[in-house]
């Protein structure tokens, strides 16, 4: 038997989601596969999954169709896929709850948005400890550009926490503004108004810049995409590196991909709204 879980991309609301505000995340077509064997990847998460739901001596090997360097969420996907292997009949909710506990035990930080995407799949509106809402969307015209720099999520979360301590009112105001645009993005995504969703990405990026999590490289790729005709663009995830995303009309997609590469980025081909954890045939 083999199980698999998808990677994810944060579309809106990163950082704010850690403090109880909403975000929108999508599962991507790149998947992480788990089968019985010697652990080769993320052994800590596999061991913790076995400790939670397995028997001593059990072990899993993991392999992925994506590189861990992109920040697509390999630790959450491996944990979710291993739990599915151990209890194939468990509900997504049970898998999510147990996997999120494991991630928090090992990493100490995180909103669980990556775990929710790995377990449920699709595109989700998510509020920590409160809401998991699948969104019915179709054909998101998204392009993903990798900066070539692996971001350290935990230290980015810590940087924002420090900023919040120094200037709580300002940071709270930013989070509230992000939450407001997440609510609008949710409605416009369901309606397929990708042009407006792109503009909302631009707004979200401005707030992320104010939080201090963007970098020159991210800005270079974002402005290259915008100049080549994207409706809007932003970083995706913790910032400090990893990926940027943009939305663009079909007739501009080729030019944008080229512009991202010329600006030093790597375009990653992923489909969005992918299936959640599953048993492979």
Pairing of strands 23-36, 123-127: antiparallel
* Contact call for residue 113 and ligand MEV (CB under 6 A): yes
Nearest CB to ligand MEV, comparing residues 110 and 241: 110
The answer to whether residue 237 forms part of the interface with ligand MEV (CB under 6 A) is: yes
The residue range among 29-37, 51-59, 92-100, 110-118 that interacts with ligand MEV, by the rule CB under 6 A, is 110-118
CA distance 23 to 115: 13
Residue labelled with tokens 């377990």: 119
Within positions 152 to 181, which residues make up the interface with ligand MEV, using CB under 6 A? Answer: 153, 156-157
Q: How many angstroms separate the Cα of 178 from the Cα of each of 171, 172, 174?
A: 11, 10, 6
For ligand MEV, which residue of 6, 110, 121, 232 counts as binding (CB under 6 A)? Answer: 110
Contact call for residue 74 and ligand MEV (CB under 6 A)? no
The catalytically annotated residue of 42, 105, 114, 210 is 114
Place of tokens 């030019």: 255
99 binds ligand MEV (CB under 6 A): no
Q: Does 211 bind ligand MEV (CB under 6 A)?
A: no
Calpha distance 170→180 (Å, rounded)? 16
Taking contact as CB under 6 A, which single stretch among the options 43-51, 83-91, 150-158, 262-270 is the one that binds ligand MEV? 150-158
Exposed/middle/buried for 29, CB within 10 Å: 0-12, 13-18, 19+?
middle
Residue pair 114/73 in contact (Cβ under 8 Å)? The answer is yes
Tell me the window of 88-96, 106-114, 258-266, 267-275 that interacts with ligand MEV (CB under 6 A): 106-114
Give me the count of residues in the chain. Answer: 281
**Closer to ligand MEV by Cβ: residue 5 or 50:** 5
Q: Residue 220 — φ and ψ, nearest 5°? A: -60, -45
**CB of 243 closer than 8 Å to CB of 237:** yes
Tokens of 103: 């991630």
- Interface with ligand MEV includes 241 (CB under 6 A)? no
Which of 105/139 has CB closer to ligand MEV? Answer: 105
Segment interacting with ligand MEV (CB under 6 A) among 50-58, 133-141, 151-159, 254-262: 151-159
Using CB under 6 A, which residues numbered 1 to 20 contact ligand MEV?
10, 14-15, 17-18
CB burial of residue 93 (10 Å; 0-12, 13-18, 19+): exposed
214, 245 in Cβ contact below 8 A?
Answer: no
Quick check: is 242 catalytic? no
Tokens 């369901």 locate to 190
- We find the least distance from the C-beta atom of residue 26 to ligand MEV, in angstroms, to be 13
Our finding on whether 238 is near ligand MEV (CB under 6 A) is yes
Contact positions vs ligand MEV (CB under 6 A): 10, 14-15, 17-18, 110-111, 113, 153, 156-157, 237-238
Catalytic sites, residue numbers: 114
């Amino acid at each position: 038997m083999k199980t698999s879980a998808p990677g994810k991309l944060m579309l809106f609301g990163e950082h704010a989601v850690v403090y109880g505000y909403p975000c929108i995340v999508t599962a991507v077509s790149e998947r992480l596969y788990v089968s019985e064997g010697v652990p080769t990847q993320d052994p800590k998460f596999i061991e913790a999954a076995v400790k939670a739901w397995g028997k001593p001596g059990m072990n899993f090997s993991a392999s992925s169709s994506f590189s861990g360097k992109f920040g697509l969420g390999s630790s959450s996907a491996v944990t979710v896929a291993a739990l599915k292997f151990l209890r194939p009949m468990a509900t997504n909710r049970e898998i999510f709850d147990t996997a999120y506990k494991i991630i928090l035990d090992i990493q100490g930080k995180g909103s669980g948005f990556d775990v929710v995407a790995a377990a449920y799949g699709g595109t989700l509106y998510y509020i920590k400890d409160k809401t998991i809402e699948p969104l019915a969307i179709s054909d998101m015209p998204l392009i993903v550009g990798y900066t070539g720099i692996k971001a350290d999520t935990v230290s980015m979360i810590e940087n924002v926490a420090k900023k919040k301590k120094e200037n709580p009112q300002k940071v709270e105001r930013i989070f509230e503004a992000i939450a407001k645009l997440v609510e609008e993005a949710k409605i416009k995504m369901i309606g397929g108004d990708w042009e407006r969703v792109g503009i909302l990405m631009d707004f979200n990026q401005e707030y992320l810049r104010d939080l201090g999590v963007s970098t020159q490289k991210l800005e270079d790729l974002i402005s290259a995409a915008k100049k080549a005709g994207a409706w809007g663009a932003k970083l995706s995830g913790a910032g400090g590196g990893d990926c940027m995303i943009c939305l663009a009309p079909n007739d501009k997609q080729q030019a944008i991909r080229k512009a991202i590469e010329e600006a030093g980025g790597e375009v990653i081909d992923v489909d969005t709204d992918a299936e959640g954890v599953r048993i492979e045939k």
